[in-house]
Each structure stands twice: as C-alpha cells, then as structure tokens.
Amino acid sequence: MNYNEMLERVSAATQDLAALHLYVTDLERENKQLQLAPVVAGPGTRPVLVTTAHRGVFFGYAADTTGETISLEAARLVVYWSPAMQGFMGLAATGPDADCRIGKAADITLRNITAVVEVTDKAARKFEAAPWKA
C-alpha cells in the first residue's frame, strides 16, 4: 500500500468517526430530553394518537375514546412527520424524531374520528419534548 492509499483510508476512517460522534451526541441529547420531559396526563387519561376524516393527526391524552367525539388534553397537532416514522402509526410506536413538526399543546374536542392508536410511554415522552422545527 502506498502513501496516498493510506492517507485515503485514514481520511475515510476520520470521517466515519466524526459521523459516529454526531450520532452518539444526538442519542445523548434525545435521552436527556426524554428524561426531562414530563408526562402531562390527567387522572384517568392515556396517551393516544387520533386521526380524523379531515386528515388531521393529533397526539394527546384521552379518558374516553368511544363515541362520535373525543376530547384530548394537552393535544398536539402533528403538522409533518418524517419518512423515518414509516407512517402515522410509527409516531405512536416510537414518537416523533427531530425532523417532525409538532404543534404546541392545547385542549381540543375532535370530531369525525377515523382511528385511535395507543401511544407507548417512550413515544409520549418524545411528543412532550418535541420542539417546533422550522
């Protein structure tokens, strides 16, 4: 192996290490956010993701998900979810990532419900920690 080949390998390894460092830093930041994010569920509520006939996707806390309407506490509109979510049910399973756009929380009553999906605790914490990304 000549000098130029060795230099190319060292350069590639350095780039790989830099990418790995960024990945680990992102994981550490995400873990810290998850630890700090409070779950704002009221008594008797559970985290759910609700879709509507008007193509709305909402995260929030519901006590009752039967009937024509559903009231959500601390509801957050999912304005955009990244392809990494693999569809809206991925949001319920893993929570939003840094590329998703999640609105601010407000209490809301939804009508024309098309789906109610149970949200994992980890996903709920990610929704609580989700900052708006422009």
- Binned at pLDDT 50, 70 and 90, residue 56 comes out as very high
Please say whether the dihedral angle defined by the alpha carbons of residues 35, 41, 43 and 49, taken in this order, is positive or negative. negative
- Binned at pLDDT 50, 70 and 90, residue 134 comes out as low
Amino acid 8: pLDDT: 82
Amino acid 74: pLDDT: 93
Nearest Cα neighbor of 39 from 111, 99, 120, 132 is 120
The amino acid occupying position 112 is N
Report yes or no: 101 and 123 within 8 Å, Cβ to Cβ: no
CA 56 to CA 21: how far, in whole Å?
Answer: 37
CA 53 to CA 57: how far, in whole Å?
Answer: 10
pLDDT at 132 over 80: no
